[in-house]
Structure 1
Amino acid sequence: MIVSRETSDKLEAFADLLLGENSRQNLISRRTEEEIRVRHIDDSLQLLEHAPVDAYWLDIGSGPGLPGLVLAIAGVRHITLVEPRRLRTEFLEHCRETLALQNVTVITGKVENVVGHFDVVTARAVATLDKLFAMASPLIAPTGRWVLPKGRSAEMELAEARTTWQGDFELKPSRTDPDARILVAQRVRRRTGRK
């Protein structure tokens, strides 16, 4: 994805912050540090092809700020980052302040305790689709969209989730990993008679 010079500079500054913090707490795999631009930054940026920037996003399990902080830098109107581990939310808050991101809210806690409605929900490497839908379906607006990066198990996870959940599901190819997919879903709801 092509971004402005200012955005590119902020993304580089974020990458530096992330690499610096990675020596303190394990945020990304050490073997992906040299590929941070493609494996983490570009991988996050591609989600913007599937939902509008002029929306309220929720990023579950934000951890290292992926994809949440990348999306905020790229111009998402507002994004709420939810992360249960205090050390990680301290890092997210540090990035928000250092990069002057006024479109970011950081919450320390579980997504089940979050209040509000969001236009777009995303999560990277947090839980299976079934668990994600269960955790966050009360938070998504009726016209909202799920934009979920998934690895090689995307088709299997979706098949399993469809036994409990129904909706409009589409698996899109990832631009950064030929084996990965991005699940774009709308109108997700439990199948009748299921809990």
Structure 2
Amino acid sequence: MTDLDVSVYSSEQLRESRDSENYMTFINTCFGTMHTKYHCFDTPRFSNMDEFYDDFKHPGSVLAVAREPGSCDIVAMGGYRPLDDHETAELKCLCVNQQRAGEGYGGFMNGYVEKLAHDKGFRKMNSVVVRQHGNLVEFYQKLGYKKLEERLLVAGGDDMGFGNVIDISIWFMQKDITA
């Protein structure tokens, strides 16, 4: 996977990029596939560009986009935003083209994003994981994330803005990225 062409966008660069709408569409498509498969949500991950930009509004946020070198097709994305404690970053929008699922792109992108965060001085990476999304919890555990907390979100509730249509469990997970 080292042959992938990875572009990294700061919050400001993301707002200025003519491809930002394509990035939002890619993320919505990836998340939409999971939403349909697991019947957890009936709305896209981002409903509009303002909502997308808001996820990366912190000036220290980044989004990394991995493309196949020959075709320039996007195969994976992931980013982070700094949290208030100045030592923790939150993983954002880690996703893989569903036609490439199971080929290691998710692990690659997670590692790439962790390295970006580590190089900026972050010591921990947080992730919010929907338990009902197949084996995602196990995927993150395999990558070294540990469960911090679990929260039940009741269908139709809007306490976290997820818009879930069934009761779901949200796992708050964290990994030490100092090594």
Question: Normalized against structure 1, the TM-score is what?
Answer: 0.36
More helix by share: 1
